[in-house]
Structure 1
Amino acid sequence: MEKSLLEHPLVPPTEALTATAPVSLEEAARLRALDPSTYWLEIARELTWTTPPTTGLNGILGDFRYYPGATGNVSVNCLDRHPPERVALRYEREDGLQETWTYGRLTEATARFAAALEDLGVSKGDRVAIYLGNVPEAFIAIHACYRIGAIYSVIFAGFSATAVRDRLVDAQPKVVVCTDATLRRGKVVPLKATLDEAMAGLDGLQVVVARRVDREFPLQPGEQDFHALLDRTTRHAAPVPLEANEPGFIIYTSGTTSKPKGLVHAGLGFLAGAYANVKWALNLRPEDVYWCTADVGWLTFPIFALVGGLAHGATHVIYEGGIDTPTPARPYDLMEQYGVTKVFTAPTALRMLRRAGDGPLAGHDLSHLQLIALVGEPLDPETWHWTQGQLGAGRIFLNNTYGQTETGTAWSSSMVGLTATRPGSCGHPLPGYRARVVRDDGSEAAPGELGALSLTEPFPCLARTVWGDHDRYVQTYLSDIPGAYAASDAALLDADGQLWVTGRLDDVMNVAGHRIGTMEMEAALITHPAVSEAAVVAQPDAVKGTVPVAFVVLRGDTQPGASLEVELAEAIVRGVGAIARPARVIVTPTVPRTRSGKIMRRLLRDLLVIGDVQGDLTSLENPDAIEVVRARIAEGVA
Structure 2
Amino acid sequence: TCDGAWRRGKVVPLKENVDAAVNELQGTDVPGVGTGSGDRQIDNVIYYKRAMNQIAWHADRDYSWRDLMKMADDWCECEPLDSEDDAFILYTSGSTGKPKGIRHTVGGYMVHTYLTSKYVFNLMPGRPLPRREAPLPHGQVFWCTADVGWITGHSYIIYGIMANRVPTLMYEGAPNFPAEDRFWDIVERHKVTQFYTAPTAIRAFMKWGQEHVEKHDLSSLQVLGTVGEPINPEAWMWYREFIGRGVCPIVDTWWQTETGGHMLTTLPGVHDTKPGSCGVPFFGVDAAICDEEGNEVTSGGGLLAIRKPWPGMLRGVWGDRERFINTYWKKFDVDGCLGTSALRAESSENPNLGSENRGTPNLGSENRGTMRGVSPYYFPGDGAHRDDDGYFWIMGRVDDVINVSGHRLGTMEVESALVSHPAVVEAAVVGMPHEIKGTGIAAFCTLDPFETPSGKDGLDRLRSRLVEHVAKEIGAIAKPDQIRFTDALPKTRSGKIMRRLLRDVAAGVQNTKQDTTTLEDFTVLARLHESEES
Query: What does the per-residue CA deviation read over 1:107-136, in whole Å, with 9 as the maximum and x for residues that have no partner?
Result: xxxxxxxxxxxxxxxxxxxxxxxxxxxxxx
Alignment equivalent of 1:275, drawn from 103, 114, 122: 114
Counterpart check, 1:402 vs 2:254: yes
After the TM superposition, which of the residue ranges 193-202 and 502-511 deviates more from structure 2?
193-202
Q: Is the 8 A contact 2:158 2:168 kept in 1?
A: no
Tell me the residue number matched to 2:513. 614
Let me know the Cα RMSD of the aligned residues: 2.0
**CA, structure 1 residues 242+309, in 2 after alignment: closer, same or farther (shift >3 Å)?**
same
Tell me the residue number matched to 1:341. 193
Q: Is the 8 A contact 1:257 1:615 kept in 2?
A: no
Offset at residue 254 of structure 1 (A): 5.2
Offset at residue 519 of structure 1 (A): 1.2
Tell me the residue number matched to 1:81. none
**CA, structure 1 residues 551+262, in 2 after alignment: closer, same or farther (shift >3 Å)?**
same
More strand, by proportion: 1
Counterpart check, 1:221 vs 2:65: no
Tell me the residue number matched to 2:462. 564
**CA, structure 1 residues 374+505, in 2 after alignment: closer, same or farther (shift >3 Å)?**
same
Tell me the residue number matched to 1:191. 14
The normalised TM-score by structure 2 is 0.81
Counterpart check, 1:298 vs 2:150: yes
Counterpart check, 1:624 vs 2:475: no
| Structure 1: segments with no counterpart, 5+ residues | 1-177
Q: Is the 8 A contact 1:433 1:455 kept in 2?
A: yes
Counterpart check, 1:241 vs 2:134: no
Distance 1:576 1:180 in 2: 51
Distance 1:306 1:257 in 2: 26
Distance 1:533 1:340 in 2: 27
Matches within 5 A, 1:410-429: 410-429=262-281
**CA, structure 1 residues 488+545, in 2 after alignment: closer, same or farther (shift >3 Å)?**
same
Tell me the residue number matched to 1:586. 484
Tell me the residue number matched to 1:457. 308
Tell me the residue number matched to 2:356. none
Tell me the residue number matched to 2:328. 477
Offset at residue 261 of structure 1 (A): 2.0
Q: Is the 8 A contact 1:348 1:598 kept in 2?
A: yes
Q: Is the 8 A contact 1:552 1:588 kept in 2?
A: yes
| Structure 2: segments with no counterpart, 5+ residues | 27-40, 128-139, 334-375
**CA, structure 1 residues 215+443, in 2 after alignment: closer, same or farther (shift >3 Å)?**
closer
Q: Is the 8 A contact 2:87 2:106 kept in 1?
A: yes
Aligned structure 1 segments of 4 or more residues deviating by more than 6 angstroms:
215-218
Offset at residue 278 of structure 1 (A): 0.9
Offset at residue 305 of structure 1 (A): 1.8
Distance 1:549 1:328 in 2: 30
Counterpart check, 1:362 vs 2:214: yes
Counterpart check, 1:207 vs 2:45: yes
The normalised TM-score by structure 1 is 0.69
Counterpart check, 1:523 vs 2:421: no
Distance 1:509 1:395 in 2: 37
Distance 2:16 2:317 in 1: 29
Matches within 5 A, 1:485-500: 485-500=378-393
Q: Is the 8 A contact 2:395 2:411 kept in 1?
A: yes
Offset at residue 221 of structure 1 (A): 2.3
Distance 1:610 1:205 in 2: 44
Query: What does the per-residue CA deviation read over 1:180-199, in whole Å, with 9 as the maximum and x for residues that have no partner?
Result: 10011121111111222222
Q: Is the 8 A contact 2:95 2:498 kept in 1?
A: no
Aligned length: 457
| 1:192 aligned partner, one-letter code | K
Q: Is the 8 A contact 1:510 1:546 kept in 2?
A: yes
Distance 2:220 2:184 in 1: 12
Tell me the residue number matched to 2:35. none
Offset at residue 442 of structure 1 (A): 3.4
**CA, structure 1 residues 216+587, in 2 after alignment: closer, same or farther (shift >3 Å)?**
closer
Distance 1:494 1:192 in 2: 49
Offset at residue 525 of structure 1 (A): 1.0
Q: Is the 8 A contact 1:256 1:615 kept in 2?
A: no
Distance 2:177 2:470 in 1: 34
SS of alignment partner, residue 225 of structure 2? strand
Tell me the residue number matched to 1:174. none
Offset at residue 313 of structure 1 (A): 0.5
**CA, structure 1 residues 301+257, in 2 after alignment: closer, same or farther (shift >3 Å)?**
closer
Query: What does the per-residue CA deviation read over 1:236-290, in whole Å, with 9 as the maximum and x for residues that have no partner?
Result: 2222332222211111125589753211111111111111221222122233101
Offset at residue 610 of structure 1 (A): 4.8
Query: What does the per-residue CA deviation read over 1:419-476, in whole Å, with 9 as the maximum and x for residues that have no partner?
Result: 22210111111111111111234332233x2211111111121101112222221111
Alignment equivalent of 2:496, drawn from 598, 616, 620: 598
Offset at residue 216 of structure 1 (A): 8.2
Distance 1:199 1:468 in 2: 18
Q: Is the 8 A contact 2:121 2:268 kept in 1?
A: yes
SS of alignment partner, residue 607 of structure 1? helix
Counterpart check, 1:533 vs 2:426: yes
Q: Percent identity?
A: 39
Matches within 5 A, 1:90-109: none
Distance 1:258 1:478 in 2: 17
Counterpart check, 1:261 vs 2:133: no
**CA, structure 1 residues 460+262, in 2 after alignment: closer, same or farther (shift >3 Å)?**
same
Distance 1:196 1:600 in 2: 27
